[in-house]
Chain A
Amino acid sequence: MDVESAGWLQALAGAGRGREAALARLHELLVRIARGEAARRGPRLAITGPELDDLAHQAAADALVAITGKIGQFRGESRFTTWAYKFVIFEVSAKIGRHFWRHPAVPLDAEDWDRLPGWFGVDPAHQAEWGDLFAALRRAVDSELTPRQREVFVAIVLNDVPLDTLVLHLGSSRNAIYQVLFAARRKLRAALVAGGYLGGNTAGCS
């Protein structure tokens, strides 16, 4: 473990003023990283100004709690600050997901299939050229997917719901929703390959 990381661990494991000073210094770092991350993502979000700053402060405070609670899990595989920054990045991510859950751009359970070509960047003027493909994709969504897979596909692809927002809506985890979508993608690709709409496997992929 590097000297600086060992210093952080020692200070945070201690007591009294030394620990308080380390906590204050860590919090200051976390606020700076949270602000930077919120600003980095800000242009793509409908969150600005004081609301974005509040989000950054909340993320830093929650990250500090998580870090002090899990400090025993730090194994020195990276610098301590990198490990700590991971928590604040996750908190910013989660808080943005929560924001969109409270203020959805479209109803989470809407189902507008006309949005499908647009999600894949097809120019409306050229959508007719892709009509057969998207019709086949829609049939595959209806016939191949389980209800849960269909629900996740519709939310993320048709309704453009951020995955982290869907996680909150379904009371699930990012990994669980990703695995549902992963399985759905495999099934849909297999159906489109079988129907002659897509080519076969690419090396390393399925």
Chain B
Amino acid sequence: MTGWPALERFLRTDPRDVGCEQAMEMLHVYAELVAAGEPAQERYPGIAAHLHACGPCGEDFEGLLAAIRGETR
């Protein structure tokens, strides 16, 4: 992340972003789709947009994905 592009990325907002509440409500479903290689971003674009923009929710998603993959390994 350097300078102008990093600032521009931070300030850019996606109108499809569903926010933390809705994204967390469906996180288990979304994470299983991703783990199964299904097109989760296409089925839930608002959740994908949110996880891309929200650091804490993105971190929770990565954690859940790691947990699922650890279990299925």
A contact residues vs B (CB 8 Å cutoff): 33, 36-37, 40-41, 77-79, 81-83, 85-86, 88-90, 92-93, 97, 117, 120-123, 126, 129-130, 133, 137, 162-164, 173-175, 178-179, 182, 185-186, 188-189, 192, 198-199, 202, 204-206
Distance A92 CA – B60 CA, assembled complex (angstroms): 9
Instruction: Tell me the minimal C-beta distance from A67 to chain B in angstroms.
Output: 12
Whether A205 and B15, one on each chain, are in contact in the complex, defined by CB atoms closer than 8 angstroms, is yes
Q: Are B15 and A175 in contact (CB under 8 A)?
A: no
A204 in contact with B10 given A85-B68, A86-B64, A122-B2 (CB within 8 Å):
no
* B67 pairs with A174, CB closer than 8 A: no
B: which residues have CB within 8 A of A? 1-4, 6-8, 10-17, 19-21, 24, 27-29, 31-32, 53-57, 59-60, 62-64, 66-68, 70-71
Complex interface: chain B residues within 8 A of A189 (CB): 8, 11-13
A175 to B17, CA, bound (A): 12
Is B13 touching A185 in the complex (CB atoms < 8 A)?
Answer: yes
**Are B12 and A79 neighbours in the complex by a CB distance under 8 Å?**
no
Q: Which of A77, A133, A137, A173 contacts B29 (CB 8 A)?
A: A77
- Smallest beta-carbon distance A2→chain B, Å: 11
Q: Contacts A36-B67, A41-B63, A162-B56 known; A86 to B27 CB distance under 8 Å?
A: yes
* Cα–Cα distance between A175 and B60 once the two chains are bound (Å): 14
Bound complex: CA A182 to CA B15 (Å): 10
Chain B residues with CB under 8 A of A78: 28-29, 31-32
The DSSP consensus for interface residues of chain B is helix
From known contacts A175-B19, A178-B54, A198-B11, infer whether A120 and B59 are also in contact, taking CB-CB under 8 Å.
Answer: no
A202 touches B1 (CB 8 A): no
19 contacts between A and B (CB under 8 A): A36-B66, A37-B66, A37-B67, A77-B29, A82-B67, A83-B28, A85-B71, A86-B24, A92-B63, A93-B60, A97-B56, A120-B3, A129-B3, A130-B3, A133-B7, A163-B56, A175-B20, A198-B11, A206-B15
Closest chain A CB from B73 CB (angstroms): 12
**Most chain-A Cβ atoms within 10 A of its Cβ — which of B17, B57, B67?**
B67
Which residues of chain A are within 8 angstroms of B57 by Cβ–Cβ distance? 174, 178
Contact of A175 among B21, B27, B63 (CB under 8 A): B21
Question: Which chain B residues lie closer than 8 Å to A204 at the CB level?
Answer: 14-16
- The residue of chain A having its C-beta at the shortest distance from the C-beta of B26 within the complex is A77
